[in-house]
Amino acid sequence: MKILVTGANGYLGKGVVKRLLNDGVTVIATDFRNNFIDKRAEYVYGDIFSMESPFNELGEPDVLLHMAWRDGFVHGSQNHINDLPKHVNFINRMITGGVKHIAVMGSMHEIGFYEGSINENTPCNPQSLYGISKNALRQAVELECKKEDVIFQWLRGFYIVGNTEDGCSIFSKIVQAAHKGQKDFPFTMGLNQFDFLDYDNFCKQVADVVEQNEVNGIINICCGRPEKLADRVERFIKENKFDIKLDYGVFPDRPYDSKAIWGDDFKIRMIEKIKG
C-alpha cells in the first residue's frame, strides 16, 4: 500500500507519517518543508494546489490522506473560505487522475454548538469559518467519491493532547510557557467537557482507518468520553511535571464552544477489531 500524506510536516501530519511507516506502509509525504518529516518517507516538495497533474506528480498513490490545512487554530480566518475551492479542486483532480481511496482530516467543529455524543448522523450547524469550510469540503468530497465509486473516509478529529512546542493547542501553549519559565498560565474557567485523545493514540487511530477500507464514511478519531477541560489540563501539567499553575477566569469561554461534547467511538472500535 502506498499512502500520500498532504500537510505531512504539520503538527499532526508528522506523527501520522511516522506511525504509517512503522506499520510498514510506503509513504509519500508532501509539504512546503520537511524538517519534521520522518526520513524514511519519500518527500515531494511543492504546492499541491498548483500542480498540473497531482496524481502523477505525487507518485500515483493508492490512498490520499489529505491533512493539509492552514490556520486550523484560527477559527475566524478568512483563509478557510478562500482555500476551500482549492481543496475541492485538488481532491477532484486526484480522483480524476486515478486514486481510489480518499481520506480527509475533519473536525468536530463541523458540528457547531451541540451537547452530547456525536456520531456520523449528528446534524451539522457549524458556528465558525473553520467549521463551515471543513463541513462544506466534507459534503463536496463525499458527493464526488460517490459519483466516481471512490472509497470515502472522513476522519472527524476532536481534542488532541500533545506535549511538544510545535503546535497551537492549549497544551502546546502550556509547554511553551513552562519552557519560558512562566509560573502562571491565563485560562478560562475550564468547565467545558471535551473528548481528549493523546497524540500517539490520535496518530494510531488515523493510521488504522486509512490502512483498511471495510469501515468508511464519517469516522470519529476520539476516545469516546468527555472530560472537563480544567481537569485534563491540570492532569497534563502534573504528567509533565511543569512548575506552572492555571490562572482561572482570565479569558471567557468561546461562545460557540459546546458545554459537553464527545465522539461516539463505535466505528473506531470496529476498525481496531479488524486490525487485530
Q: What's the rounded Cα separation, in Å, for the pair 268 and 191?
A: 27
The CATH code of the domain at 2-160+195-223+263-275 is: 3.40.50.720
- What is the model's pLDDT at position 167? 75
172: its cell numbers:
502546546
Q: Is the dihedral of CA 207, 29, 79, 177 positive or negative?
A: positive
Q: Where are the beta strands (DSSP E) in 35-125?
A: 42-45, 63-66, 101-107, 116-118
- What is the model's pLDDT at position 32? 95
Q: What's the rounded Cα separation, in Å, for the pair 256 and 105?
A: 21
pLDDT tens track for 20-50: 999 999 999 999 999 999 999 999 999 999 9
What residues form DSSP beta bridges with 125? 112
How would you write the chain as a 3-class SS string? Answer: CEEEEECCCCCCHHHHHHHHHHCCCEEEEEECCCCCCCCCCEEEECCCCCCCCHHHHCCCCCEEEECCCCCCCCCCCCHHHHHHHHHHHHHHHHHHHCCCEEEEEEEHHHCECCCEEECCCCCCECCCHHHHHHHHHHHHHHHHHHHHCCEEEEEEECEEECCCCCCCCHHHHHHHHHHCCCCEEECCCCCCEECEEEHHHHHHHHHHHHCCCCCCEEEEECCCCCEEHHHHHHHHHHHCCCCCEEECCCCCCCCCCCCEEEECCHHHHHHHHHHC
Q: Is the dihedral of CA 264, 199, 206, 80 positive or negative?
A: positive
- What is the model's pLDDT at position 90? 98
Domain ranges of the chain: 2-160+195-223+263-275, 162-193+226-247
Model pTM score = 0.94
- What is the model's pLDDT at position 253? 85
Mean pLDDT of 68-72: 94
pLDDT tens track for 126-181: 999 999 999 999 999 999 999 999 999 999 999 999 888 777 789 999 999 999 99
Q: Which residues are catalytic?
A: 130
Q: What's the rounded Cα separation, in Å, for the pair 39 and 152?
A: 29
- What is the model's pLDDT at position 254? 82
